[in-house]
Amino acid sequence: MSTTTRPDPLKPTLPTDFLPLKGTDHIEFYVGNARQAAYFYRAAFGMSLVAYSGPETGQRDRASYVLQQGKIRFVLTTALRSDSEIARHVHIHGDGIRSIALWVDDARQAWIETTMRGARNIQEPATSSDEYGRVTTASIAAYGDTIHTFVDRGHYNGPFLPGFQTIHYDAVVRPVGLLHIDHCVGNVGWNSMNQWVDFYSHVMGFGLYQHFDDNDISTEYSALMSKVMANGNGYVKFPINEPAEGRRKSQIEEYLDFYQGPGVQHIALATADILATVSAMQDQGVQFLTIPHSYYSELQARVGAIDEPIDELERLGILVDRDNEGYMLQIFTRPVEDRPTVFYEIIQRKGSRSFGKGNFKALFEAIEREQDRRGNL
Ligand code: FE2
């Protein structure tokens, strides 16, 4: 068995956690048209528009829409002019994730600890304030053009950050029961996984949580390798994927080709009722990968008794996996933009802390059918 799970991931691996994280603060996307992207996440994913900044609030070069559901906060940012790093990011990558922002008590200290250990500086600690209080942020580089922003909002009670205008009522939002971010997955280039595992280990103080090799994650055609890194308290989990040799182009290579480099592949969003959440998302137009009937005829024998009716799971295309702690249910959207890059996972954990290893084959075959339709297999 090539999969390992750290015995108790909730215990820090180091005597003192030099980078204590309270969770994910927000995910910032750079997109071509933030107003329309925001409508998609509000109407289809059930996120509520809570704050805005743009020309009307004195922001001259960009517009940002802050969306929230449960503890999940997305920021959609677009450039207002072509001579901007946001426009450059969108030109190269298409719509994609610029920052996985992390919630800390002391952004300055987080920046000092990580840059001292070799992180590349993106933005030195800076404090801004408005009538709601003050926030300190600082940023470091991660894989590709992705960054981590440390956010200390302990002295702030506004809707997002200083300078953002509060939106009190969203007439568009159709909530679907999404609660928090379970994990964020990065795709990196050939033979680069261990370099980024070292980065999260040495620079950010994360520990190895689980790993999968190409024996776990391969189909007839393609393969990949993955290591899951988790911070000391286990609140933040970053699986890192790299392509492995196969007969055809793997999904990771397809991503790297179209994103034009490493970047965030998918974000897993947790729900406490996956049947209701996925039903609502499908009704609201979100497209998910489809799974063949044979998966469900073998399911009961593979995972044993579960609370959810199997015909309902099959109707929605939800996958199930069990380990010695319990089981989990998961489903994957198609990419949410025209480039085959970023997609989402919806996950409900019932005891299991795993990532659905028993589903990898069915899942990757489903992705390969989509790659084939795009002419990229
Ligand atoms: Fe995942």
What is the domain extent for residue 356?
178-374
How much is the mean pLDDT over the chain? 93
Least confident of 34-38, 59-63, 216-220, 242-246: 216-220
User: Which pLDDT value is given to residue 37?
Assistant: 98
Classify residue 5: in a domain, yes or no.
no
Classify residue 116: in a domain, yes or no.
yes
What is the CA(186)–ligand 1 centre distance, in A?
Answer: 10
What is the CA(75)–ligand 1 centre distance, in A?
Answer: 21
Are both 191 and 118 inside the same structural domain? no
H or E stretch including 238? Answer: strand 237-244
Classify residue 171: in a domain, yes or no.
no
Are both 139 and 199 inside the same structural domain? no
What is the CA(181)–ligand 1 centre distance, in A?
Answer: 11
**Are 108 and 19 spatial neighbours (Cβ–Cβ below 8 Å)?**
no
What is the CA(344)–ligand 1 centre distance, in A?
Answer: 8
Residue 44: band (very low, low, confident or very high) from pLDDT cuts 50, 70, 90 = very high
How many domains is the chain partitioned into structurally?
Answer: 2
Classify residue 14: in a domain, yes or no.
no
Structure confidence by residue, pLDDT tens digits, 202-226: 999 999 998 888 777 777 777 889 9
User: Which pLDDT value is given to residue 214?
Assistant: 76
Classify residue 11: in a domain, yes or no.
no
Share of the chain above pLDDT 90, in %: 82
Summarize the confidence of residues 83-104 as an average pLDDT.
98
Question: DSSP labels for 140-178?
Answer: EE-STT-EEEEEEEEEE-SSSSTTPEE----SS-----E
The helix, strand and coil proportions of the chain, stated in percent and rounded to the nearest 5, come to 25, 35, 40
Residue 360: band (very low, low, confident or very high) from pLDDT cuts 50, 70, 90 = confident
What is the CA(156)–ligand 1 centre distance, in A?
Answer: 32
User: Which pLDDT value is given to residue 8?
Assistant: 55
Q: At which of 166, 187, 209 does a domain end?
A: 166
Contacts made by residues 124-133, CB under 8 angstroms, sequence distance 24+: 128/161, 128/162, 128/163, 129/162, 130/158, 130/162, 130/163, 131/158, 132/156, 132/157, 132/158, 132/159, 132/162, 133/157, 133/158
What is the CA(349)–ligand 1 centre distance, in A?
Answer: 12
Classify residue 203: in a domain, yes or no.
yes
Share of the chain above pLDDT 70, in %: 96
